[in-house]
Structure 1
C-alpha cells in the first residue's frame, strides 16, 4: 500500500466532504422564516463558515498541488498541515460559538451539524501530516 498516495487522497476527500457537509443546511432547510437564523448560525465563531470553507478548500488545493513541482514539495506539505490545523481550529471555534435558535426546534439534526463538521475536519490535518511525513522520508 502506498501510504503517501492514500493519505493524499484522504486529505483531499476529507476537505471536500467537510465543505459539502458544512453547506448542507442551505440545501436541506428552506423557508424565509429561517433565513436570518441560518445567517446567524453560519456567522458564529471567529471566522464563520466562510473561513472554514476557505481553509478546507485551500488545504485540498495545496495537498493536490504538492506533486506538481512548482514549489518545493516539503514546503507545500507543511503548508497543508498548517491549513488542516486551521480548518479544524476554525471549525471548533465555530461549533463552540453556535447558539441554538428556533430553527433547531424544527430541524433537530441541526444540533449535531456543527460537531459533525468538526469531526469531518479532523482527517484533513491528520492526512496532511501523514502525507508530509511520507514525502519527507
Structure 2
C-alpha cells in the first residue's frame, strides 16, 4: 500500500466532503422564514462558513498539487498540514459559536450539523500529515 497515494486521496476527499456537508442545509432547508436564521447560523464563529470552506478547498488544491513539481514538495506538504489544521480549527470555533434558533426546532438534525462538519474536517490535517510524513521520510 502506497501511503502517499492513499493519504492524498483521503485528504482531497475529506476536504470536498467537509464542504459538501457544510453547505447541505442550504440544499435541504428552504423557505423565506429560514433565510435570516440560516444566515446567522452560517455567520457564527470567527471566520464563518466561508473561512471553513476556503481552508478546506485550499487544502484539497494544495494536496493535489504537491506532485506537480512546480514548488518544493516538502513546502507544499507543510502548507497542506497548516491549511488542514486551519479548516478544522475554524470549523470547531464555528461549531462552538453557533446558537440555536427556531429553525432547529423544525429541523432537528441541524443540532448535530456543526459537530458533523468538525468531525468530517478532522481527516484533512491527518491525511496531510501522513502525506508529509511519507514524503519527507
Q: What TM-score, normalized to structure 2?
A: 1.00
Q: Output the CA distance in 2 between the equivalents of 1:28 and 1:78.
A: 36
After superposition, give the CA deviation of every residue in 1:45-79 in whole Å (9 maximum; x if it has no partner).
00000000000000000000000000000000000
Equivalent position of 1:44 in the other structure: 44
Shift of 1:8: 0.3
Q: What TM-score, normalized to structure 1?
A: 1.00
Q: Output the CA distance in 2 between the equivalents of 1:3 and 1:74.
A: 16
Cα RMSD of the aligned pairs, angstroms, is 0.2
Equivalent position of 2:18 in the other structure: 18
Equivalent position of 2:56 in the other structure: 56
Q: Which consecutive unaligned segments of at least 5 residues does structure 2 have? A: none
Corresponding pairs, count = 137
Find out whether 1:76 has 2:76 as its counterpart: yes
After superposition, give the CA deviation of every residue in 1:78-123 in whole Å (9 maximum; x if it has no partner).
0000000000000000000000000000000000000000000000
Equivalent position of 2:32 in the other structure: 32
Q: Which consecutive unaligned segments of at least 5 residues does structure 1 have? A: none
Q: Output the CA distance in 1 between the equivalents of 2:42 and 2:3.
A: 35
Secondary structure class of the residue paired with 1:23: helix
Q: Output the CA distance in 2 between the equivalents of 1:4 and 1:19.
A: 23
| Structure 1 segment 96-107 matched on structure 2, within 5 A | 96-107=96-107
